[in-house]
Amino acid sequence: MSQKQTEELINHPIIRNLARLFDAAGFELYLVGGSVRDALLGRESDDFDFATSATPEQTLAVVRGFADDIWQIGMDFGTIGLAKARSKLEITTFREERYLEESRHPEVSFAAAIETDLSRRDFTINAMAIKLPEGAFIDPFGGLTDLASNRLRTPISPEQSFTDDPLRILRAFRFTAMLGMKPDNGTVEAIIKYGQRLEIVSRERVRDELSKLLTSPAPGRAIVGMVNTGLAAHFLPELAEMARLRDPANRHKDVLKHTVMVVDNVEATLVLRLAALLHDVGKSKTKTEGPDGIHFFHHEVVGAKMARKRLKALRFPTKTIDEITALIESHMRFHTYRLGWSDKAVRKYVREIGPGRLPGLGKLVRADCTTQNDLLAKKYGRLLDELEKRIDKLEAAEESAKIRPPLDGNEIMEFLELKPGPKVGKVLNMLLEARLDDRIRTKQEAYEMTRAWAKKHLDTNPKP
């Protein structure tokens, strides 16, 4: 680390003032982990992680009066969180943690020295520290060299590290996606050997780590790495099925390769990245072969159901699951547009997808199309542009999603002297279709259409 980088960190007003407080109280304080790593990479951050010789109770006593807000949710694990100005700080007592053989939660014990704390961190690039307030750089495991070499290693043996906390196995691929790090041979061998231990980690922790991985700059290479090492089988087994499946519609050798390109191409939001990851998951269940070739009929419908089941198992929120599965189920709808859609069909598309989901669906479809050959990608791009312009034009004239039949259910029941039931629903649907097709607009026109329907289906002739 350069002297300039060290000075910038230790002279940050929040870090400098916090260091003085701990020094005055007689406790050691170190800036650690991602804060140090990111500074070395020139990445700015307002989140800082610290390690201290103070117990959590002693830390609380030190920061009271300094912090704008304090939270103690991680206190049992030695961590006190606090907010200061616009920054978020976490201060953790020197510790080590490990999983018991069948435990889903780590067992934490406090350590006596910073070197022990650093040795139990996930990777050498996160096992560097700066002692405060003087600014001495501490790197007992060669993290700086590994960071410069894009090499991912554990401070202690990977076998021991992954036994202590199996989530580190998945985290290795997050750093592959986020920073372009490449696990060394020993780390890869340990991932293959100990990957099954990920199953003892709570699904919530796996979900959170996967979310960080997918919203990183280049998740595709990490996805391939998880499949190749067998790790994905322990929380996303569908990916291995995709790797074994050939898709003749693409020039890529398998569905997984196509999928990772879609993931890398789509905007880095969690909903879109998960939708991209699982958009073709239903192909493994819908593959058919016939005289005219291989097909995956309705794979989007089957895939949406499969995605819902998997995302529920990973404890994603219901609202997030609903958004993702809606995109998956709808992602093939656009492909019939090249056959020609009437204005009615465009309005129906907007209504059924929902205006709130249309931008995301467009981004997913564009990412899916760009994995094709250049000519086909340009063709689909032009069609998408045309469809979006038509939607904008129609929406400017009338908001399609808000279109309703001119009559409501009560008016239909009163007019036809009907009780609530399927016949009322049929009339409502008929009137809605006519309204979407711009064949009726007024109540009078709707009553006339209802009268004609009743004469045919109810053998009655309602009076005006």
Q: Which one, of 57, 105, 53, lies nearest residue 80 by Cα? A: 57
CA-to-CA distance for 415 and 52, rounded, in angstroms?
77
| Single residue among 149, 173, 192 that ends a domain in this structure | 149
pLDDT at position 444 over 60: yes
Q: What is the pLDDT of residue 291?
A: 82
131 located within any domain: yes
356 located within any domain: no
Q: What is the pLDDT of residue 152?
A: 98
| Single residue among 83, 118, 149 that ends a domain in this structure | 149
Q: What is the pLDDT of residue 338?
A: 76
pLDDT at position 251 over 90: no
Q: In this predicted model, what pLDDT tens digit does every residue of 95-125 receive, in sequence order?
A: 866 555 555 555 666 777 899 999 989 999 9
CA-to-CA distance for 380 and 397, rounded, in angstroms?
26
Q: Are 280 and 288 in contact (CB under 8 A)?
A: no
Q: What is the pLDDT of residue 237?
A: 95
SS3 category, 84: strand
Domain of 438, in residue numbers:
409-457
Q: What is the pLDDT of residue 123?
A: 97
Q: Alpha carbon of 282 to those of 180, 257, 304, 306: distances in Å?
A: 30, 15, 7, 7
CA-to-CA distance for 263 and 320, rounded, in angstroms?
17
Q: What is the pLDDT of residue 313?
A: 97
AA identity, residue 107? E
Q: Are 163 and 98 in contact (CB under 8 A)?
A: yes
pLDDT at position 155 over 80: yes
AA identity, residue 322? D
431 located within any domain: yes
397 located within any domain: no
DSSP string, 291-316: TTEEE-TTHHHHHHHHHHHHHHHTT-
**Residue 17, Cβ neighbours under 10 Å: how many?**
12
Residue 13 CB contacts under 8 Å (≥ 6 apart), including other chains: none
CA-to-CA distance for 299 and 122, rounded, in angstroms?
39
pLDDT at position 392 over 90: no
Q: What is the pLDDT of residue 101?
A: 58
Residue 427 CB contacts under 8 Å (≥ 6 apart), including other chains: 407, 412, 416, 450, 453
Which of 155-164, 171-180, 380-389, 391-400 shows the lowest mean pLDDT across its residues? 391-400
Q: What percent of the chain has pLDDT over 70?
A: 91
Q: What is the pLDDT of residue 198?
A: 95
CA-to-CA distance for 207 and 191, rounded, in angstroms?
18
Q: Which residue has the higher pLDDT, 3 or 78?
A: 78
Q: Which one, of 230, 218, 216, 150, lies nearest residue 188 by Cα? A: 230
DSSP 33: T
pLDDT at position 457 over 90: no
CA-to-CA distance for 273 and 219, rounded, in angstroms?
9
pLDDT average, residue stretch 320-329: 97
pLDDT at position 83 over 80: yes
H/E element, 344: helix 343-353
Q: Which two tokens stand for residue 334?
A: 């656009």
Q: In this predicted model, what pLDDT tens digit does every residue of 195-231 receive, in sequence order?
A: 999 999 999 999 999 999 999 999 999 999 999 999 9
257 located within any domain: no
Residue 460 CB contacts under 8 Å (≥ 6 apart), including other chains: 416, 417, 454
pLDDT at position 191 over 90: yes
| Single residue among 149, 171, 190 that ends a domain in this structure | 149
Q: In this predicted model, what pLDDT tens digit does every residue of 329-355 receive, in sequence order?
A: 999 999 888 778 988 889 889 888 988
Q: Are 435 and 347 in contact (CB under 8 A)?
A: no
Phi, psi of 414 (to 5 degrees): -65, -40
- As for how many domains the chain has, the answer is 2
Q: Which two tokens stand for residue 165?
A: 């906390």
Residue 322 CB contacts under 8 Å (≥ 6 apart), including other chains: none
Q: Which one, of 387, 261, 372, 281, lies nearest residue 324 by Cα? A: 281
Please, is 374 exposed, middle or buried when counting C-beta atoms within 10 Å of its C-beta (0-12, 13-18, 19+)? exposed
Residue 132 CB contacts under 8 Å (≥ 6 apart), including other chains: 10, 15, 18, 19, 22, 23, 29, 30, 31, 50
Confidence of residue 277 (pLDDT cuts 50, 70, 90): very high
CA-to-CA distance for 72 and 110, rounded, in angstroms?
17
434 located within any domain: yes
Confidence of residue 371 (pLDDT cuts 50, 70, 90): low
21 located within any domain: yes
56 located within any domain: yes
